[in-house]
Amino acid sequence: MLEGVSVVRDGRAILDSVDLTLRERRIAVLGPNGSGKSTLVRLLNGLVTPSKGRVAVDGHDTAKDAALVRRRVGFVFQNPENQIVFPIVSEDLAFGLKHLKLPKAELHRRVLEALERFGIGHLAERQSHTLSGGERQLVALAAVMVMKPALVVFDEPTTLLDLRNRNRIRAAITEMPESAIVVSHDLDLVRDFDRAIVIDQGRVVRDDRPGPAIDWYRAHFG
Amino acid sequence: MIGSLYIGGDSLLHRQPAWRKLLVLFAAGIVLFVVQAPEILAGAAVAAAAILATVRPPLRALRRQLTGVAIILAAIFAANAVFADWGTAFAMLFRLSTLVLLALAVTMTTRTSDMLEVVERVLQPLERTGLVNAARVSLAVSLAIRFVPEIFARYREIRDAQAARGLAGNPVALIVPLVVRTLKSAEEIAAAIDARGFEGAHPSGSASGRTGRQGGTAS
Ligand SMILES: Nc1ncnc2c1ncn2[C@@H]1O[C@H](COP(=O)(O)OP(=O)(O)O)[C@@H](O)[C@H]1O
Ligand SMILES: [Mg+2]
């Protein structure tokens, strides 16, 4: 869905003529720090728009139809601190749903359903700033999933978490039926994926099954 | 003081719609400033305390909320006692206490989102003038409520870190990292809000999606 995409900032190409069609159910994006991974995945929901080329999701150009694209593509960021925007957890999940003008009972039901899916129904009435890092990341994930996106992009979702919380997020990603594109240094998480893309200096340098891609990545950057 | 004061529960007050509570609070405010008799105002303060008690607020939260206010009230009382007279001082003390207790009862039983919904509705007529975007105002308010406690936490963290490095009491060492971290989060928070498809960011909805669907070629 990316055609000849370049992203130029301050006269420098952060991404350089990238062509990719992403259809697999589980795709990993690997690469060293600063290689352009975040920029690549931010293209997928129009947070970044290409300087050259075109990005489309299900035929919708991300530069023109950002709102439409964002309804299909959910996004979970690295830092769990900055994704929850409402003071109470259940309010945060209701935030996106508000536009859908659902009846109150239906809205409440969907909020609880999304929280329970990740085993955090008990956090519904908690104040956001009292949550632990792992709880925050699960809430952020629930807040994305409550909108029922077809695809969820994760940008290093486990990097800032401790081992136990990392395992909870890993399990959540592994078990969800939706498609996922995951930027991660967590090679154990992505080993069973369908495809792995390695980025270096703004270019796709390897595009393969995770096994060989990880070996190649280790050999070149390990 | 800032930060959501909401405390979950199922009291009579919890079950009232937000607009009704805010309306009563507003009306009480007007009445309280019309009434001058300290005896009546004392009765009102007792009633307000009783109303607050029905909410069953946790004592710890209550003490935290009320100590600061008590100090301010004491200062106002003292000033009135010195510059006016005892009657005025007591009237003012009871009046303000009543208001504080009622306001606390409302904020402890009303979710921020419900309160903001009322604000959004009240702002709607202004929105037609094009000067205000109600959805944005309410998002801004909830962001403030949500992140002020985080900024305080961050402030304490940086203060401790600087103290550990022997930089205690150096305001530059405190403020610079605090501002930098806060700006960095602001950027991330903005991206997160965008990613979740907040459309109030585009007044009249023309900037994204609704009018720009000419690019429908297959991918
Ligand atoms: N808005 C921007 N302006 C200028 N440089 C940027 C911007 N966004 C990213 N960069 C730079 O582009 C490079 C790739 O960034 P990023 O996509 O975040 O990499 P990664 O996620 O792989 O660490 C980095 O060198 C970064 O400093
Ligand atoms: Mg990154």
Residue indicated by tokens 């003038």: B129
Q: Does residue B11 lie within any of the structural domains?
A: no
Work out the average pLDDT over A48-58.
94
Residues 6 or more apart whose CB falls under 8 angstroms from that of B25 comprise B102, B103, B106
Condensed to tens digits (0 to 9), the pLDDT of residues B37-89 reads 999 999 999 999 999 999 988 888 888 888 888 999 999 999 999 988 999 99
Residues with CB under 6 A from ligand 1: A 9-10, 14, 31, 33-39
Residue indicated by tokens 């402030």: B155
Work out the average pLDDT over A186-214.
95
Does A154 lie at the interface with B, CB-CB under 8 angstroms?
no
What's the gap in Å between A132 CA and the centre of ligand 1? 28
- Where is A15: in which H helix or E strand? strand A12-20
Q: Does residue B166 lie within any of the structural domains?
A: yes
Provide the 8-state DSSP code for A127: B
For A201, the token pair is: 């200096």
Work out the average pLDDT over A53-67.
92
Q: Does residue B124 lie within any of the structural domains?
A: no
- CA distances from residue A64 to A36, A69, A144, A204, B55 in whole angstroms, order as listed: 23, 9, 22, 25, 50
Condensed to tens digits (0 to 9), the pLDDT of residues A3-20 reads 889 999 999 999 999 999
Condensed to tens digits (0 to 9), the pLDDT of residues B176-196 reads 888 888 888 888 899 999 898
Verify that B83 and B165 share a domain, yes or no. no
Verify that B105 and B141 share a domain, yes or no. no
Ligand nearest to the CA of A16: 1
10 Å CB burial of residue A222 (0-12, 13-18, 19+) is exposed
Does A142 lie at the interface with B, CB-CB under 8 angstroms?
no
- Atom index in ligand 1 nearest the CA of residue A31 equals 22
- Atom index in ligand 1 nearest the CA of residue A202 equals 14
Spatial contact of A111 and A90, defined as CB atoms under 8 Å apart? yes
Q: Does residue B143 lie within any of the structural domains?
A: yes
| Domain count along chain B | 2
* Residues of the domain holding B138: 133-216
Verify that B103 and B51 share a domain, yes or no. yes
pLDDT at B206 over 80: no
Beta bridge partners of A199: A204
- Give the separation between CA B48 and CA B97, rounded to whole angstroms: 8
| Contacts with B112 from chain A: Cβ below 8 Å | 86-88, 91
Verify that B106 and B137 share a domain, yes or no. no
Please give the pLDDT value at position B40. Answer: 95
Please give the pLDDT value at position B218. Answer: 34
Does A57 lie at the interface with B, CB-CB under 8 angstroms?
yes
Verify that B196 and B163 share a domain, yes or no. yes
Final residue in a domain of this structure, among B59, B79, B110:
B110
In chain B, the percentage of residues whose pLDDT exceeds 70 is: 89
The rounded mean pLDDT for chain B is: 83
Residue indicated by tokens 């009237």: B91
Q: Which of A57, A88, A125 sits opposite B112 (nearest CB)?
A: A88
Please give the pLDDT value at position B3. Answer: 60
Q: Does residue B7 lie within any of the structural domains?
A: no
The rounded mean pLDDT for chain A is: 93
Work out the average pLDDT over A168-185.
94
Work out the average pLDDT over A103-126.
93
| Contacts with B64 from chain A: Cβ below 8 Å | none
pLDDT at A97 over 50: yes
Final residue in a domain of this structure, among B110, B145, B162:
B110
Q: Does residue B102 lie within any of the structural domains?
A: yes
Residues 6 or more apart whose CB falls under 8 angstroms from that of A57 comprise A1, A44, A45, A69, A72, A73, A151, B219
Please give the pLDDT value at position B205. Answer: 37
Verify that B39 and B72 share a domain, yes or no. yes
Condensed to tens digits (0 to 9), the pLDDT of residues B79-119 reads 999 988 999 999 999 999 999 999 999 989 998 888 888 88
Please give the pLDDT value at position B27. Answer: 92
Q: Which of residues 70-109 of A touch B (CB under 8 A)?
A: 70-71, 74-75, 77, 79, 81-88, 91, 94-96, 99
Please give the pLDDT value at position B215. Answer: 33
Verify that B207 and B138 share a domain, yes or no. yes
Verify that B103 and B145 share a domain, yes or no. no
Verify that B55 and B106 share a domain, yes or no. yes
For A17, the token pair is: 């003529």
Provide the 8-state DSSP code for A165: H
Q: Does residue B186 lie within any of the structural domains?
A: yes
pLDDT at A123 over 90: yes
Per-residue pLDDT band at B135 (split at 50, 70, 90):
confident
Q: Does residue B119 lie within any of the structural domains?
A: no
pLDDT at B34 over 80: yes
Query: In sequence order, which ranges of chain A are alpha helices (DSSP H)?
Result: 37-43, 66-72, 89-97, 104-117, 133-145, 163-175, 187-190, 210-221
Specify the higher pLDDT residue, A189 or A99: A189
Verify that B23 and B104 share a domain, yes or no. yes
Condensed to tens digits (0 to 9), the pLDDT of residues A105-114 reads 999 999 999 9
Per-residue pLDDT band at B1 (split at 50, 70, 90):
very low
Verify that B104 and B149 share a domain, yes or no. no
